[in-house]
Structure 1
């Protein structure tokens, strides 16, 4: 049996992984599964919000997920709680360096790590028979999990690091939503910095299995960026997006993630620069200062009135 091919998206939240995954999921044999990391916490234990499947049904009532969970042996609460506990203990952002060392053979891997990522690998193998024959897109965005999965010989994992301007993500976190709590600009940018630095560790350790793209570039030139991502993922398809950036989205089977994952029909990919006018100047300053100097490293201009080229 061939190894499941996985495109694991990492980086900070609100960076466009839902949009990218749903677009790729329109291709035959490509399955976008949303944030698979939360399958057990939200889908089985119902401890989070926004836990329905992208198809609109309760996750455990979805034909695909009910079958996959049953076959994986983690549909029962006790097994799901054990998985969530291992994720918290072993796969947090601060564990990225250690998980990379293990994947590169520079440190022995703890049995608990093998057990946790082994369950995830088994989910991937099952999903390869439910629409993910050519590629599974996992938008979980946990750098340590990506690092641990890279060490699996039974998987073909490529890591896509998505970056978005820290001020744009700060605006997204400024107000409470049904599925996320509000966050100050400085705190949001602090997480932005930590997640992106951890993701860069993967790029330095495994450059041939790592690609970084910016949300803004995806929105300005969707066909070009999506083509680059597809080639990186090992697919020769043309992206299912018109020259105007329009795509017709169908149903998907995503776990958790941005509620936009539920959107269907004609969708246009276009830039979103609302932070420049909707985020007050003191909040822009707080988000900018906390994210220095990585904003400049990713090509973002520091002044809000200086639009990206």
Structure 2
């Protein structure tokens, strides 16, 4: 790819209908990837994975799309790039990655909320917003979708998107933090890199619970800034997946019609390939997938780690109505 150009195309420009974006939030290992894919099987919905990481994982590193093709060879993303920027070759990759990694950071939340940003980061923020606006517009044109699901999860990205030319709603996916912490302690490979030796990051129990708490608080706070936020419990999703998906579609402004969620049964879902750019490795699985709550932490989590996670998370678990023991 030619990485010489430094600015994104302007997108559709002028007056237009704003894309409807449903961002999934919350700390990882909470079922958001499966939820996104269940939503994306519905009519009028497209799931993109973690768009936050498109610039480095897709454009720079050419990792595998959810359809199992390299990003640079995926027809969906090639069409999006043509519509958004006149081709991905017209995007300065290092600049795009630098803008994203510099701007989307929780330590700059006050800047993202108030807009009072130093000149150097303001330039980067505005460039990033330009790229994101063009990207979402192009996705709507390519897919004809009425709703885009973006499972980026990161709170700072949600606060950035408040300034994008979109209609934004957020779903906070909450799982018992002890299960989240136990899941982050396990070794999970990243098949999208094409290297069996690369694994996903791992977090200590304290770090996992701290992030779980921070993400929850920050996403709830979005409602103070005119962003609609819906909380969905992982355990409810596992128990009644179709009902939860139907409720989310209604929250996003889409009334489920006949057959829209027939791919979801009581304990399984049928999944086709989706063009997701980043996320949990299960984003690449297709066919019939069993829906069953992962409760391994209840028997396999070391007692000390379980106690630490339980104590640290108790106030918020109580607020969520999660298990007290």
Q: Please, what is the CA RMSD of the aligned residues? A: 2.1
How many Å apart are 1:2 and its aligned residue?
2.0
Q: Where does the alignment leave 5 or more consecutive residues of structure 1 unmatched?
A: 304-309
Aligned to 2:114: 101
Q: Does 1:265 align with 2:287?
A: yes
How many Å apart are 1:34 and its aligned residue?
0.5
Shift of the 163–108 alpha-carbon distance from structure 1 to 2, 3 Å rule, reads same
Contact preservation (8 Å) 1:11, 1:163: yes
Aligned to 1:75: 88
Give the whole-Å Cα distance in 2 for the aligned partners of 1:70 and 1:215. 37
Q: Where does the alignment leave 5 or more consecutive residues of structure 2 unmatched?
A: 1-15, 191-199
Of 122, 125, 129 in structure 1, the residue corresponding to residue 134 of structure 2 is 122
Q: Does 1:197 align with 2:217?
A: yes
Give the whole-Å Cα distance in 2 for the aligned partners of 1:42 and 1:236. 34
Helix, strand or coil: the match of 1:130?
helix
More moved, 73-82 vs 1-10:
73-82
Shift of the 217–133 alpha-carbon distance from structure 1 to 2, 3 Å rule, reads same
Q: What is the TM-score when the length of structure 2 is the normalising length?
A: 0.84
Aligned to 1:292: 314
The aligned length equals: 294
How many Å apart are 1:71 and its aligned residue?
4.0
Q: What is the TM-score when the length of structure 1 is the normalising length?
A: 0.88
Deviations 1:157-178 (A, max 9, x none): 1111111111111111112222
Question: Would you identify which runs of 4 or more consecutive aligned residues in structure 1 move more than 4 Å?
Answer: none
Aligned to 2:194: none
Shift of the 132–302 alpha-carbon distance from structure 1 to 2, 3 Å rule, reads farther
Aligned to 1:248: 270
Shift of the 10–151 alpha-carbon distance from structure 1 to 2, 3 Å rule, reads same
How many Å apart are 1:61 and its aligned residue?
0.6
How many Å apart are 1:291 and its aligned residue?
2.3
Aligned to 2:56: 41
